[in-house]
């Protein structure tokens, strides 16, 4: 659970780890039923309606302005997003 | 009858004949919101009444000078709060998007604006559309207009409740595993999940991108067709929207279904379902037979695995889509972090509610090294088998029937602590999302004073046949019940 929470970038308290752990175990037990199906000759489907190679002209069209793109930023400065120090 | 109790299919001819106008219509809906929404709690954000009336006056002014009126013009619409609206909060009922105000409109919002439909407000939903009761909203619990102690269904519960309570002429919802159809069923209104790719998803906050579709929730099938023909069609901003000619869905409704080949899906009825649901389905089947349809009972053996496959694919895609909520570009950011990792971890812990956390965990687990093939890979193959089952069924049949849900609306709080029971509420609706086919819920009865929905599923992009079958059924069945806003807690006092 802790490893998965780290992969998901989600801080969970010990109580939450317990609470969700129990529920997820129950859900996974139900889900495990799919392992009984023989799918050795079945191709996977990622997209239910066939769409292939959607191309468009490579043209410049108007998009959000810098101000609009930054309008919801928790912290912005000099036209960029501000994040905690990385290095 | 008050204007807000009428369907668009009634209001539009009245406008054309000058018996009413957009101002009167909007006034009636605004009065209803004012009078009812304190109990129903469908709206998260209401557009200012003056602003609505100003838009209505503009519609009336334009109508006076024009001979060409269109049905959605001047009609107040409730938008699910995961549809982006310029300058209007779009929260997805999540704390992480509490103050988010999009700088752009969803394509469907623009298309409705082109018709001069008038946005009445943004309505409640399960957080990020994760749920079947609208109770996972971070902001409020929406009541079912038929019984205020019960849920309206979900995740588009606010949309369905707003239409059922006559607070909006129509609504838009989104449907990933039943989120339009199940609340429509619980609230006694019509809800359509279109074929995957028929309606642009641009500006819909993504839950599971291979399953999500936007669709209408309306008072009747004609209104549903009228909304669909406006929102459907290719959009360059959504590469999965399909380029094909959009017919006049309303023009194709003739109510004739003689010779229509109808199949009832054995796996989606019977065992474990509320008894009255099965009765209502039997009645509906009988009615289709009387209308001249040919009925068969068929089996789609892999539907048994639809729910487990969905609860891999849905959360897997959701966990990827929700990675964007990292406290950098928009939404909540924790006040208490010194480095990037801590900022991500705390921002997300503070911003997401319990069901979102569950699905992120489930999806991340299913996609993680060592489990990917057994869960995600296997689920995608099961998806293929389910699609093949539907292809076989549709080779010999035009539409498929089932109940929309195994039960009527349940009590608030009843399934909140038992996620698996909550998930099972979507058992009949999930297969259509996995297969990408269109499916509609229409009222087909009541059980103990609560509406029951009939689900009709159709072939890819054959909304014409689907809607016409629904229209024929609706007309023959003659649904005319309205919610009475019963409040069991008031009696106890």
pLDDT digits (tens, 9 = 90+) for B96-127: 999 999 999 999 999 999 999 999 999 999 99
| B415 catalytically annotated | no
pLDDT band of residue B239 (cuts 50, 70, 90) is very high
Distance in angstroms (rounded) separating the CA atoms of residues B381 and B364:
19
Catalytic residue among B179, B200, B425, B441: B179
With CB atoms and an 8 Å threshold, state whether B302 touches A10. no
Percentage of chain B exceeding pLDDT 70: 99
State which residue of chain A sits closest to B312, comparing Cα positions.
Answer: A31
What is chain B's mean pLDDT, rounded? 96
Non-local (6+) Cβ contacts of B52 within 8 A are B26, B30, B76, B118, B120
With CB atoms and an 8 Å threshold, state whether A8 touches B319. yes
Is residue B271 predicted with pLDDT exceeding 80?
no
With CB atoms and an 8 Å threshold, state whether B236 touches A37. no
Is residue A45 predicted with pLDDT exceeding 70?
yes
Chain B residues 129-188 within an 8 A CB cutoff of chain A: none
Chain A residues 28-87 within an 8 A CB cutoff of chain B: 28, 30-35, 37, 39, 42-49, 51, 54, 56, 64, 68-69, 71-75, 81, 83-86
Is residue B437 predicted with pLDDT exceeding 70?
yes
SS3 B14: helix
| Longest CA–CA separation in chain B, Å | 70
B3-244+476-492 in CATH: which number? Answer: 3.90.1300.10
Query: How large is the average pLDDT for residues B59-68?
Result: 91
Range from B22-26, B236-240, B268-272 carrying the lowest mean pLDDT: B268-272
The tokens of B38 are what?
């304190």
Distance in angstroms (rounded) separating the CA atoms of residues B404 and B289:
19
Q: Which of B236, B323, B349 sits opposite A56 (nearest CB)?
A: B236
The tokens of B5 are what?
């109790």
Instruction: Please tell me the predicted confidence (pLDDT) of residue A28.
Output: 93
Distance in angstroms (rounded) separating the CA atoms of residues B476 and B76:
28
Instruction: Please tell me the predicted confidence (pLDDT) of residue A57.
Output: 86
Contacting residues of B for A68, CB less than 8 Å apart: 103-104
Contacting residues of A for B244, CB less than 8 Å apart: none
Phi, psi values for residue B253, rounded to 5°: -80, 110
Percentage of chain A exceeding pLDDT 90: 76
Distance in angstroms (rounded) separating the CA atoms of residues B287 and B133:
30
Chosen for mutation from B203, B361, B387 (greatest number of chain A CBs closer than 10 Å) is B361
Place of tokens 């229509």: B260
Phi, psi values for residue B442, rounded to 5°: -125, 145
From the CB of residue B269, how many other CB atoms can be counted at a distance below 10 Å? 19
Is the distance from CB of B14 to CB of B28 less than 8 angstroms?
Answer: no
Q: What is the DSSP string of B191-202?
A: EEEPPTTTB--T
Question: Can the peptide bond before residue B155 be classed as cis, meaning omega within 30 degrees of 0?
Answer: yes
Is residue A21 predicted with pLDDT exceeding 90?
yes
Higher pLDDT, A31 or A50: A31
Instruction: Please tell me the predicted confidence (pLDDT) of residue B66.
Output: 85
pLDDT digits (tens, 9 = 90+) for B376-392: 999 999 999 999 999 99
DSSP A70: H
pLDDT band of residue A66 (cuts 50, 70, 90) is very high
Phi, psi values for residue B295, rounded to 5°: -105, 135
Chain B residues 447-466 within an 8 A CB cutoff of chain A: 460
From the CB of residue A86, how many other CB atoms can be counted at a distance below 10 Å? 6
Instruction: Please tell me the predicted confidence (pLDDT) of residue A46.
Output: 86
Instruction: Please tell me the predicted confidence (pLDDT) of residue B186.
Output: 98
From the CB of residue B53, how many other CB atoms can be counted at a distance below 10 Å? 16
Is residue B224 predicted with pLDDT exceeding 80?
yes
Instruction: Please tell me the predicted confidence (pLDDT) of residue B491.
Output: 66
With CB atoms and an 8 Å threshold, state whether B339 touches A81. no
Distance in angstroms (rounded) separating the CA atoms of residues B160 and B168:
10
| B239 catalytically annotated | no
Instruction: Please tell me the predicted confidence (pLDDT) of residue B314.
Output: 97
Minimal CA separation from A37 to chain B, in Å: 8
Non-local (6+) Cβ contacts of B50 within 8 A are none
Distance in angstroms (rounded) separating the CA atoms of residues B134 and B404:
17
Positive or negative, the Cα torsion across B238, B240, B244, B250? negative
Is the distance from CB of B172 to CB of B216 less than 8 angstroms?
Answer: yes
pLDDT digits (tens, 9 = 90+) for B274-305: 999 999 999 999 999 999 999 999 999 999 99
With CB atoms and an 8 Å threshold, state whether B364 touches A56. no
Instruction: Please tell me the predicted confidence (pLDDT) of residue B269.
Output: 86
Is residue A2 predicted with pLDDT exceeding 80?
yes
Contacting residues of B for A23, CB less than 8 Å apart: 358, 419-420
| B9 catalytically annotated | no
pLDDT digits (tens, 9 = 90+) for B454-488: 999 999 999 999 999 999 999 999 999 999 999 99
Is the distance from CB of B154 to CB of B176 less than 8 angstroms?
Answer: no
Minimal CA separation from B461 to chain A, in Å: 10
Interface check for A10 against chain B (CB to CB < 8 A): the answer is yes
Instruction: Please tell me the predicted confidence (pLDDT) of residue A47.
Output: 86
pLDDT digits (tens, 9 = 90+) for B312-370: 999 999 999 999 999 999 999 999 899 999 999 999 999 999 999 999 999 999 999 99
Give ∠ CA B274-B280-B282 in degrees, rounded to 5: 110
Edge to edge, the sheet with strand B294-298 lists B43-46, B118-123, B76-80, B170-175, B213-218, B190-193, B439-447, B450-458, B399-403, B261-265, B294-298
Catalytic residue among B94, B136, B137, B155: B155
Domain boundaries, chain B: 3-244+476-492
pLDDT band of residue B492 (cuts 50, 70, 90) is low
* Complex-level ipTM: 0.95
SS (H, E, C) B238-290: ECCCCCCCCCCCCCCCCCCCCCCEEEEEHHHCCCCCCHHHHHHHHHHHHHHHH
């Amino acid at each position: 659970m802790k490893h998965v929470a780290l992969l998901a970038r989600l801080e969970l308290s010990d109580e939450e780890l317990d609470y969700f752990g129990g529920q997820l175990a129950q859900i996974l037990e139900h889900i495990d039923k799919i392992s009984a199906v023989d799918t050795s000759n079945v191709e996977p489907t990622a997209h239910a309606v066939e769409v292939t190679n959607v191309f468009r002209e490579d043209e410049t069209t108007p998009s959000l302005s810098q101000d609009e793109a930054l309008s919801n930023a928790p912290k912005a400065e000099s036209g960029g997003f501000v994040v905690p120090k990385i290095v | 009858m008050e204007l807000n109790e009428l369907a668009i299919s009634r209001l539009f001819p009245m406008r054309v004949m000058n018996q009413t106008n957009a101002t009167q219509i909007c006034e009636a809906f605004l009065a209803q919101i004012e009078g009812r929404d304190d109990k129903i709690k469908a709206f998260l954000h209401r557009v200012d009444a003056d602003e609505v009336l100003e838009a209505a006056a503009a519609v009336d002014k334009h109508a006076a000078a024009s001979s060409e009126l269109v049905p959605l013009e001047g009609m107040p619409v409730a938008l699910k709060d995961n549809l982006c609206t310029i300058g209007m909060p779009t929260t997805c009922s999540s704390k992480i998007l509490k103050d988010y105000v999009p700088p752009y409109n969803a394509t469907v919002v623009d298309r409705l604006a082109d018709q001069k439909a008038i946005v009445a407000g943004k309505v409640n939903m399960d957080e990020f559309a994760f749920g079947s009761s609208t109770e996972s909203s971070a902001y409020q619990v929406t009541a079912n207009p038929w019984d205020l102690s019960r849920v309206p269904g979900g995740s588009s519960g606010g949309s369905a409740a707003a239409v059922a309570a006559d607070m909006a002429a129509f609504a838009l919802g989104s449907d990933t595993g039943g989120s339009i159809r199940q609340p429509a069923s619980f609230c006694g209104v019509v809800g359509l999940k279109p074929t995957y790719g028929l309606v642009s998803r641009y500006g819909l906050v993504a839950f599971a991108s291979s399953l999500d579709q936007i669709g209408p929730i309306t008072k009747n099938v004609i209104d549903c067709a009228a909304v669909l023909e406006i929102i459907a069609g290719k959009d360059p901003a959504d590469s999965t929207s399909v380029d094909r000619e959009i017919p006049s869905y309303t023009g194709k409704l003739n109510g004739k279904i003689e010779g229509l080949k109808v199949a009832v899906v054995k796996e989606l009825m019977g065992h474990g379902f509320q008894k009255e649901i099965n009765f209502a389905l039997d009645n509906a089947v009988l009615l289709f037979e009387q209308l001249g349809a040919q009925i068969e009972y068929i089996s789609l053996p892999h539907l048994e695995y639809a729910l487990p496959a969905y609860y891999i694919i849905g959360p897997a895609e959701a966990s990827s889509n929700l990675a964007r909520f990292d406290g950098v570009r928009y939404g909540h950011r924790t006040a208490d972090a010194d480095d990037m990792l801590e900022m991500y971890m705390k921002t997300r812990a503070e911003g997401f509610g319990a069901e979102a956390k569950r699905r992120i965990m489930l999806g991340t687990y299913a996609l993680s090294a060592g489990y990917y093939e057994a869960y995600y890979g296997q689920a995608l193959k099961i998806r293929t088998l389910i699609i093949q089952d539907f292809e076989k069924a549709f080779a010999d049949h035009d539409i498929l029937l089932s109940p929309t849900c195994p039960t009527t609306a349940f009590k608030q709080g009843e399934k909140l602590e038992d996620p698996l029971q909550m998930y099972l509420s979507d058992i009949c609706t999930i297969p259509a999302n996995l297969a990408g086919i269109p499916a509609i819920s229409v009222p087909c009865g009541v059980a103990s004073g609560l509406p029951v929905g009939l689900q009709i599923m159709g072939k890819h992009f054959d909304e014409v046949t689907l809607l016409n079958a629904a229209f024929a059924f609706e007309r023959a069945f003659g649904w005319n019940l309205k919610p009475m806003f019963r409040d069991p807690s008031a009696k106890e006092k």
